[in-house]
A and B are shown apart, each in its own frame.
Chain A
Amino acid sequence: MGFEVEYVWHEHRLPSGVDLVVLPGGFSYGDRLRAGAIAAHSPVIRDIRELGASRTPIIGICNGFQILVEAGLLPGALLLNDSLSFMCKWTHISVENNATPFTRLFERGEQIHIPVANGQGRYYADEATMRELTDGNQIVFRYADDINGSTMQIAGVCNSERNIVGMMPHPERASEPEVGPADSDASPIFRSLLQESGAARQ
């Protein structure tokens, strides 16, 4: 797609001139203590916090979402699934808010066929937080079915400025026809991001 991508070690500083940050999934610190709790204190989070404050798009997927929540960059908490087990399955989510840098290529209400793979993926927020989320239009994705007991079937949220999004499902596993069911296409999430940051460059 013509963009330079760089992995950054969690103890290093982010390079300058970053257009967007992806925090991928992956059992940081073996999910010890709580998923994402230790990684939320990694040195690189300081830079991510600053970038977030300057409206740079940031997306956290699965463990990346858990880290953003533990770092206080997104509201709510992620608890053990109500099955108390890890679950890996394909499910459907709907786009609740298409006015974020990550969802602008979707229609509002559009369904995405996408997989989840997590043990602590049950989104929880108390009533006050839920009011803020609803009033601020910060719910980005919801599960079509109640797969894990998440509050309001929430699958992904954003911050009030809408530049930081976290989601438990894995769009990167649903963006190539070869590795997903015929009707799966979550690639607009990435294409939206690229368009956003491309636009920001010009």
Chain B
Amino acid sequence: MTGLTQTEMEALSGRIGRRPNPVETSIVAAEWSEHCSYKSSKKHLAMLPRTGAHLVDDSSYDSAVLDVGGGYVITVHIESHNHPSAVEPFGGAATGVGGVIRDILSTGTRPIALLDGLRFGDIRSDSHARWLLRGAVSGIAHYGNCIGVPTVGGELGFDPCYADYALVDVAAIGFGLKTRLIQNHAEPGDAVVLIGGSTGRDGIGGSQFASDSLESDDRSAVQIPDPFTEKLVIEAILEARDAGLLHALKDLGGGGLSCATSEMSDSLGVGMSIDVGQVHTREELASHEVMTSESQERMLGIIAPGSVADMQEICAKYGIACSRIGTVTESSDLHVHDSGADLARMPVGIVANAPLLDLPRTRPAYLEELARARVPDALPGGDYSASLLSLLGSPNIASTEHVYSRYDHEVGIRTVVRPGRDAALLRLDNAKYVSLAIDGNPAHCYVDPRAGAAGCFEEACRNTVCVGARPIGMVDHMQFASPQDPEIFWTFIESLEGISEYARAMEIPCVGGKVSFYNETPSGPIKPTPVIGVIGLADSAPKNPAVADGDVIVAIGTSRNEMGGSEYYSHVHKTVAGSCPQVDTGSSRACLDAVLALHDGGLAKRVHDCSKGGLGVALAKMCIWEGRGCDVALDGAPGCADMGADVALYSESHSRFVAVLGAPDAQQALDIAAKSGAACAVIGRFGGSSIGINYRGRSVASVGLQDASDTWHTSLERTAHG
């Protein structure tokens, strides 16, 4: 297991003026790991815009806090648990859920929804990828269902670059009264308490494990999930919050007590004296193990010394432990002792702030090769029926119902828009609605990390407006291979710049996020995989009036010849070529505004975003959802007249939607879209029993609705059990 590098050891010795002892070294090694310290990324993350109308600005929280009006706030956080899930998918994914839930809880809000983004190798050919998928889904179901928090959405993707590996991203939303937020503060003399599960040997060194390439299957570094204890912790904490007992609160995650105590002291500007002998443990542990164990379902609280008995009484009601493990001090030191015997004493400012790096970066050589790659020819005969059907069965496009039906997505009775649609929408107690969509696209980000990352962001915004919500904030989750590789680091910076540019142009603040490096598989680095979550707010829920034959289909937004990283090229032609879809912020704003205006005017019966598989797949999915065929002239869609049928069908240009309107409303809708500056055209009508797509007067795809529906609905389950 890695500890401090020689340079870091020297830096630490220089700062504290002596050689650290072994306990101090292990505490600092946990906190200075990439996972906890962000030492490679921190300097660059400053480029993200972080101010916005709804943001409750308090950097002491582990989750973003957004004011949604009426005295209420929502909280949002996103994290991944990739390394543990790649080794032990059930436990890794389950504890990933638990960790994010506690980040939400640490603000004093109740977790109300989960989303998960899962990525694996190619499940069609890779049985290990299928095992990882099954394990991760079971782990998420086991944990989320048991704690009574609905899993309301997410995404599922497959790419050979994740062979023998797994990306498990979990996002969560919390909800509560603004007046009940934990006001993170501490006075010297306050008690430090550890609440929840007992500390054991599981997960020791987990944050360092996650900050290294996956060379060892070190299962002891994977934490053990106990969702029932988590549920008890949630209820006990919220009861203590209502009783006003909690001065400050923090989740124990990566780095365990080492990170929680040093980060909490540092952010509150106080010192702490911690007695490891008072920590409730489940087995005999050495002091450094107590400090770095990542046992789950634990929270660190600061309370008035006179409140300890009240806190313990609440915890006893729920059958969980609450140990007084230390005291807030006036000094600026993190002092660790074992019943009086000194183990470590270092200034918290040093422990909590690793020396930051400024790593070199260079444009990767593979991009030159990609630029020269030959674009596949149009299919002979110009018939794309078979390719459309095949794409509907692609694991990256097929229905994920087989997965999300394993998750309770309705518990709590807030879920208005369920999984499988564009974004999740939940009702709140203030008569408003919050949406969350998470989107990644490694295929695009591989071809052009800057445009690809901005595209993920825009796609999440598109999904947000599809359910009638306005984006109010963004969380970014940056997943890359080793930052020590200058080519990888270049892709990280490019992605970050793409996201920042879009955030500034659209005035959507970055309210939180996470960086995960060292995502390496035995066969090499993963593709750049930023995942963007967009939080939206709506005043009303979509009305969803019935769709009828004769309703018109409208294409919003301009198509371009942007086939780079397209699912069509990779799935049908097994190749990557062409230029990556670019986000034009002017068109983006116009199209997002147009969709919101259609919602506000009550004109759009349905709006669906156009992404993977282009207009062809977007139209087919719309037909499958509505149980109706269609007759569409694709050359009528903005930008499609002169590009060739394959490009018109499958280009993945951004800022595009497909909408359904009652025929009498069509002209008014076009006028509204034009007023927003969005390109928009009627391209066809619902009716019949086949998905019929024409291009310049010739049929280019005709697929029976039943065939399309069966393929889309059943492919993933069949493949997953392959």
Contact = CB atoms under 8 A, between A and B. Distances in A.
Interface of A: 9, 25-27, 29-32, 85-89, 115, 117, 119, 170, 172-173, 176, 178-179, 182
B9 interface: no
A88 B228 contact: no
B405 interface: yes
A170 B413 CA distance: 10
Interface string B220-255: 000000111001000000000000000000000000
Nearest to A30: B228
Contacts, number: 57
Interface string B535-554: 00000010010100000000
A12 B227 CA distance: 24
B32 interface: no
A179 B405 contact: no
Given A26-B148, A88-B404, 13 more contacts: A27-B228, A29-B228, A30-B231, A32-B228, A86-B145, A86-B408, A87-B405, A88-B405, A88-B407, A88-B410, A89-B405, A117-B411, A179-B413
A104 to B, nearest CB: 25
A147 to B, nearest CB: 11
A131 B415 CA distance: 40
A29 B147 CA distance: 10
B148 A87 contact: no
Given A26-B148, A30-B231, A178 B416 contact: yes
Contacts of A178: 416, 427, 541
A176 B89 CA distance: 37
Interface of B: 141, 145-148, 226-228, 231, 317, 404-411, 413-416, 427, 541, 544, 546
A86 B148 contact: no
Contacts of A176: 413
Contacts of A173: 410, 413
Contact of A179 (B231, B408, B416): B416
Given A26-B148, A117-B411, A172-B413, A85 B227 contact: no
Contact of B407 (A26, A29, A86, A115): A86
Contacts of B226: 30
A115 B145 contact: no
A29 B231 CA distance: 10
22 contacts: A26-B411, A27-B145, A27-B147, A27-B148, A27-B228, A27-B231, A29-B228, A30-B146, A30-B227, A30-B228, A31-B146, A85-B406, A86-B406, A86-B407, A86-B408, A87-B405, A87-B406, A88-B408, A170-B410, A179-B414, A179-B427, A182-B546
B409 A88 contact: yes
Nearest to A25: B411
Nearest to A28: B228
Nearest to A26: B148
B131 to A, nearest CB: 16
Contacts of A27: 145-148, 228, 231
Contacts of A31: 146
Nearest to B546: A182
Contacts of B147: 27
Contacts of B405: 87-89
Nearest to B151: A88
B148 to A, nearest CB: 6
A85 B408 CA distance: 12
B431 to A, nearest CB: 11
Contacts of A9: 317
Contacts of A172: 413
B442 to A, nearest CB: 28
A25 B148 CA distance: 9
A117 B440 CA distance: 29
B451 to A, nearest CB: 37
A173 B409 CA distance: 11
Contacts of B410: 88, 115, 117, 170, 173, 179
